Amino acid sequence: MTAVSSVGTITIAGKTVSRLGFGTMRLTGPGTWGDPNDRDTAISVLRRAVHTHGITHIDTADSYGPHTVEHLIRDALYPYPEQVLIATKVGLARPAPNVWAPHGHPVYLRSCVEASLRRLGVERLELCYLHRIDPEVLAADQLGTLKALQDEGKIGHIGLSKVTPEAIRMAGKDITIAAVQNVLNMTDRHDPALELCRDLNIPYVPYRPLDAGTLARTHGVFAPLQWLLQLSDHVAPVPSTSQPEHLDQIVTAVTGGS
């Protein structure tokens, strides 16, 4: 039994994966921009998450770098183990470090998906989130583009990120929502989408579960992640780190060293 097995599993995008996932946002340079300072360490963290700890839910985005982390994932994990879910996101442009701009034009979204397929070395993105709903583009056009790509076999399942309950209900009329990814942690404790996702049987993936490290410094790792895991069985946090030792601490804290 792998260490994270004791935390339980969840079905996301048709795969049964570990409830404790791994977020890859920190595997870049400062400002979520460019290459990491130590590429070998970034590769090591990814391999350690999967091969040592048995984490089977890897969360990324084309905007991390941009593009940097998708390349790292392929170099670290390809060919991907059958049980591993690689989830990525499209729909945020990166004009500069620490700058994120929603970009939901259908042509752009399609180009992003095609590029992610090449970077990850796959024929289908098993789970592709719309990273943000662009307020300047009709939501139906953004969702329709991802649905068309799904119909073409280039996307397996579609997720939504940073969305309100109203947006979830609206999107659910046009697509089957495989997962929702919103901020939730012991600092940002209230998200009305959490209960809606439970009612609709949609996996809820809290990003920034340690509040960018602030909660780990003030409360340790165990309490913030246990708080999330105990909320409901449909909650699957994706803590992120760039250091193998910190990854070990996260897994040990949550699993009790099992």
Average pLDDT over residues 46-75: 98
**Mean of pLDDT values over 118-147:** 98
* Percent of the chain surpassing pLDDT 90: 95
Given 64, 80, 129, 207, the catalytic residue: 64
C-alpha distances (whole Å) from 217 to each of 26, 210, 211 are 17, 9, 10
CA distances from 40 to 26, 139, 205, 251 (A): 14, 40, 28, 21
Nearest of 115, 29, 38 to residue 64 by alpha carbon: 29
Q: Would residue 207 show up in a list of annotated catalytic residues for this protein?
A: no
Q: What is the pLDDT of residue 1?
A: 47
Task: Tell me the pLDDT band of 256, cut-offs 50, 70 and 90.
Answer: confident
Domain count for the chain, please give it: 1
Q: Residue 6: what pLDDT? A: 84
User: What is the rounded average pLDDT of the residues 93-122?
Assistant: 98
**Residue 257, pLDDT above cutoff 60:** no
What whole-number distance in Å separates Cα of residue 18 and Cα of residue 159?
18
Question: Considering only CA atoms, which of 199, 198, 202, 122 is closest in space to residue 158?
Answer: 202
Mean pLDDT of the region 163-175: 98
CATH number for the domain that contains residue 154 = 3.20.20.100
pLDDT at 170 > cutoff 80 = yes
pTM beyond 0.85: yes
Averaged pLDDT, 122-131? 98
Residue-range definition of the domain harbouring residue 235 = 3-255
Exposure of 75 in the CB half-sphere (CA atoms within 13 A): 13
Mean pLDDT on 211-216 = 91
> How many C-beta atoms lie closer than 10 Å to residue 234's C-beta?
21
Amino acid at 5: S
